[in-house]
Structure 1
Amino acid sequence: MARIELPEVLVMEILSKLPVKSLARFNCNAIPSVYGACHGLLCLQELSTDKAALWNPSTREFKILPPSSIQRPPYLSPMEGNLALYGVSFDHAALGFDSKTNDYKVIRFVSFIYYHRPFVTRTFVNIEEEQRYAYPHYEFQVELYSSRSDSWKEIPCPLYTPTDLILGNNYVDGICYWKTMTEAYLGLILLFDLANQKFSILPFPEIAGSCLHYYDNLLMFNGSLSDIVCLLEGTGMSFDLWVTRE
């Protein structure tokens, strides 16, 4: 699954500056992903669990966030009874500031991964039959943390969910951004307004012309949402940087 994370070397450099007591309280079994920064704050998130924390490197304040409020979905899908819950992940987080309520907020997507149970009743299932049921089924939910209430709450999940990495921060001026895509569009930008707590989408710019083979990703450049594009065709290597004006 796509993940939002900083390079491991940079994460280790950041975590090495934390006091031992804070690291022991966080008690990670793996290196957490780092999200932010917003007003000097960073959000640490362990992807395989709901463990998360806010950290201020300048003051060394370290706050453990409360457990997730999301429970296992009461529904599965029309194929209920043939799906088995395989795992849960907490990913695509964003840290931002709601100036309307003077509140720091964290939003994250919770993914429930299901696998199809074999329809056969035999104890032994051969490899070909296993492969028939190896495709995962996903259910997504979204939760929002408020520092003022120090609690999570579930919010309506958008039709489109993040599908790709973000280069660094994905928050600017009260809005969180992610890349997403649909069957009708190769790429869309998913937005979340922290003040209104509403999702919306924007189309990507016409960046590649007739070239169908390119790599692009969102990033923040000089305080603005930007898209960096690398064409994968042709003899030369070049990058285009698109910067929003509003």
Structure 2
Amino acid sequence: MQGLSKTRTEVPEMLVLEILSKLPVKSLTRFRCVSKPWSSSFQTPHFITKHHHNNLKNNNLNLLLKRCDGNNRGDIYYFSQLSTEKGHNFSVKQNIHLPFFENCWYAPVVDGPCNGILCLHDHDKAALWNPSTREFKILPRSSVQRPPSVDSTIYGGLGFGYDPQTDDYKVVRFVTNYFGENEEEGLMADWSHQVELYSLKNDSWKEISVPDNHGFGSPLFNNCINGFYYWQTIEGSDYLILSFDMVNEKFSTLPLPQFGGTLAQFYLQLLDFNGLLGAIFYPRGGTDKSFDLWVMNGSWTKQLSIESVPGVERPLGFWKNGELFLESSDHELVLFDPSTRELKNLGIHAYRETMQIISYVESLIPINGRSEHEERIIRRPAGGAVN
């Protein structure tokens, strides 16, 4: 037909980038090959921030499960990537093995996520990991000087967080130095504490002031909330919460909620609950567990109380719509819906108390590390070949 011609409509670049910022990291990684301008755009702070905020806004959560199949020193902890797609019932998509931590006991301990980044550590070994971009950074050994005549050094509580003022990721770590071993009793006669701080921007450690209280407790949940990291601590016979401000690099304390019991009777786990500090309490004994969640918003208030859930051991993390991942008495991963009281077995097993759920949103944030391939990290699809 005459008078008709094909027309080409140019889509504005800003609109293209807006659309691309809503895609998963796996797609963006493939699209880096489309053009150099696209590849460069994906690395700009504006695009990285926009992409992360879109994932937060849409609650695009991913799940990792840390677990172990045995309890001997030769047994290796690994991560399982769980499907979050509808109808897949949190099935295992792939298993991930980290050689850097294979010779460690109960390792790695996981802190985070913080903007999609995890901090993994055991004793003096520490690394940052972005599971979305598959970038892994082994942190340098601490250069902080130890006191003279130290017989041994133990690395204790560690915290990982973000400093928004300097756009820096920081790791704070408690260190205990022991002196003068008593050979007859096999005990250390004296000790001293140090606290050291790692900056990703500087890629180095420095010593900072030691607080009056020593932070402890292994993080079952994410303990970094809005630039503060939280530990349990004890002062005399009183239990408190120790916090560290990632911006001013200062410690402070706050009280526990008046939850109606003692920590001899109840376990306490601190967690990020919708951007606020939460404290979940559950009894140490019994086969029917109850869970009380307290939230700090100027003062402590009880947010949630779940009564008498049969056949479970401990909480592992909240999911969308208030559902709660739990470890069953048979050491299976289960999902509990408080609104219907339905307890769903997800068919995933691990050795007792080795499971940890890590819920995170994807992030393009670089950590100045190396690729998983370079670090010999193995991703193996469930029942399949290495990926």
Q: Smaller-chain TM-score range?
A: 0.7 to 0.9
8 Å Cα contact 1:69-1:154 kept in structure 2: no
Q: Secondary structure, in 3 states, of the residue corresponding to 1:238?
A: strand
Aligned residue number for residue 251 of structure 2: 199
Instruction: Select the residue among 217, 220, 230 that pairs with 1:177.
Output: 230
**Cα pair distance change 1:240/1:36, threshold 3 Å:** same
The CA deviation string for residues 190-214 of structure 1, in whole angstroms up to 9 with x for no partner, is: 0100101100111111111599733
Q: 1:19-98 counterparts in 2 under 5 A?
A: 23=98, 26=100, 29-30=103-104, 31-47=107-123, 50-74=124-148, 85=151, 87-98=152-163
Distance 1:115 1:164 in 2: 27
**Cα pair distance change 1:234/1:58, threshold 3 Å:** closer
1:101 maps to 2:160: no
8 Å Cα contact 1:175-1:191 kept in structure 2: yes
The CA deviation string for residues 164-194 of structure 1, in whole angstroms up to 9 with x for no partner, is: 3332211010001000011152x10101001
**Cα pair distance change 1:196/1:116, threshold 3 Å:** same
Letter in 2 for 1:71: Q
The CA deviation string for residues 111-169 of structure 1, in whole angstroms up to 9 with x for no partner, is: 22346425xxxxxxxxxxx34x6366442211111111111111011110023333221
Deviation at residue 93 of structure 1 after TM alignment: 1.4
Distance 2:121 2:264 in 1: 35
Q: Secondary structure, in 3 states, of the residue corresponding to 2:169?
A: strand
TM-score, normalised to structure 2, is 0.49
8 Å Cα contact 1:175-1:194 kept in structure 2: yes
Deviation at residue 54 of structure 1 after TM alignment: 1.0
The CA deviation string for residues 188-243 of structure 1, in whole angstroms up to 9 with x for no partner, is: 01010010110011111111159973332222222321111124589974221101
8 Å Cα contact 2:109-2:218 kept in structure 1: no
Query: Between Structure 1 and Structure 2, how many residues are aligned?
Result: 212
Distance 1:190 1:58 in 2: 31
Distance 1:101 1:44 in 2: 23
State the structure with bigger RCO (CA 8 A, min sep 6), 1 or 2.
Answer: 2
Aligned residue number for residue 165 of structure 1: 218
**Cα pair distance change 1:195/1:210, threshold 3 Å:** closer
8 Å Cα contact 2:221-2:269 kept in structure 1: no
Distance 1:38 1:139 in 2: 30
Aligned residue number for residue 177 of structure 2: 112
Distance 1:39 1:108 in 2: 20
Distance 1:169 1:211 in 2: 20
Aligned residue number for residue 187 of structure 2: 134
**Cα pair distance change 1:71/1:148, threshold 3 Å:** same
Q: Secondary structure, in 3 states, of the residue corresponding to 1:190?
A: strand
Larger Cα Rg: Structure 1 or Structure 2?
2
Q: Secondary structure, in 3 states, of the residue corresponding to 2:258?
A: coil
The CA deviation string for residues 48-73 of structure 1, in whole angstroms up to 9 with x for no partner, is: xx322111111111112121022222
**Cα pair distance change 1:199/1:237, threshold 3 Å:** same
Percent same amino acid among aligned pairs? 45
**Cα pair distance change 1:14/1:34, threshold 3 Å:** farther
